[in-house]
Structure 1
């Protein structure tokens, strides 16, 4: 289980930059981006159960949820929260639908804003798009490969995103925002590159819901 702290590689990069040693961290970041691309490029589909926790800046748990996800690249995702409250996120490659049954409401947003609902949608794009949008740092932790992504643009909903791989398999995903709040997602029952019916990524609008387009 990961501890939610700034990875050593990122801390070193900040310190080296402050001291003026720019070339080495840039080369390091480039190598980390290549390693991440090697993990993500072969990924075509991904199916798993997940446990998601939201923690405050002191590490206290604010919320916990569990469910199941399906991903097919490029651009398609289904994210179903089963407990404690039902919620469904579906991306069909063009738009993202957030369905909240309790509110009887569906919010529709262009895929360009994909991290609004879940960071897992970042995985649905190409590895090149991901590494172009983030500075990537790499470290090994307990035998796992941990990639920390720092957004290049300040106009993002989070300040840091991390992916943990056991070999070639993604096992954890977490992010931290500017308030210090962190979202930790751990995957289990993982199937990579198994066939997934495209119908899984089609959202059928329920009758009688309010539709909000952003």
Structure 2
């Protein structure tokens, strides 16, 4: 798989959403209310640790399933580890992003751009004020669940819409839909908001002998 395609896949797989720190005067009343409610859910959370299972569907068929663990901390730090069916590790130390593919014995490194808001992992770990400037937010209630739909205002986003579902005030799943009709669902378990995460979690040690590609 080409490096760019690989980076797109992990980008769509990562946890999305970030607390809103400011509301802009051009937001409509309904959108502002939804954004405020989402703020109440996310603003107190500065770190996350969780297990995840991911499912990618397109044209009615499941094209990929995986599972693993993730750790996220603001600003700009995350570690996304896929255990099965194929190993992959994505780590950001707040300055650079490392993608390690053990099967290829290859590490791809790129600079982290905190202004880029089309990558879900960056939304969670990045600056909170970026969300309201980049997305329109609406909400609905389904029993005990609250579902927030985020639609990117930019045309170069990796997805057309993103849904964050909270069950009993805890983020339980993330759904992303792109222009091709592909649906990526990430379900979370063993969620630990504001987990105490060692800073070493976000430092990646390049394996000896691995091919290194810098972008």
- Establish whether TM, by shorter chain, passes 0.5: yes
Which residue matches 1:127?
128
Q: Within 5 Å, which residues of 2 pair with 1:145-184?
A: 145-184=146-185
Return the alpha-carbon distance in structure 1 between the equivalents of residues 110 and 142 of structure 2. Answer: 36
Which residue matches 2:37?
35
1:68-107 deviation per Cα after TM superposition (whole angstroms, max 9, x unaligned) = 0111111111110000000001011111111111111111
Question: Are 2:202 and 1:207 aligned?
Answer: no
5+ unaligned residues in a row in structure 2: which ranges? 1-26
Tell me if structure 1 keeps the 8 A contact 2:117–2:134.
no
Return the alpha-carbon distance in structure 2 between the equivalents of residues 161 and 57 of structure 1. Answer: 18
Tell me if structure 2 keeps the 8 A contact 1:165–1:172.
yes
Q: Within 5 Å, which residues of 2 pair with 1:76-155?
A: 76-112=77-113, 113=116, 115=118, 119-155=120-156
5+ unaligned residues in a row in structure 1: which ranges? 1-24
Question: Are 2:88 and 1:63 aligned?
Answer: no
Tell me if structure 1 keeps the 8 A contact 2:54–2:185.
yes
Which residue matches 1:49?
51
Please state how far the C-alpha of 1:126 moved relative to its aligned partner.
3.0
Tell me if structure 2 keeps the 8 A contact 1:104–1:210.
yes
- Normalising by structure 2, what TM-score? 0.82
Please state how far the C-alpha of 1:115 moved relative to its aligned partner.
4.9
Tell me if structure 2 keeps the 8 A contact 1:147–1:162.
yes
Please state how far the C-alpha of 1:27 moved relative to its aligned partner.
1.6
Larger Rg: 1
Tell me if structure 2 keeps the 8 A contact 1:37–1:128.
no
Return the alpha-carbon distance in structure 1 between the equivalents of residues 70 and 167 of structure 2. Answer: 19
Which residue matches 1:198?
199
Tell me if structure 2 keeps the 8 A contact 1:95–1:109.
yes
Tell me if structure 2 keeps the 8 A contact 1:96–1:114.
no
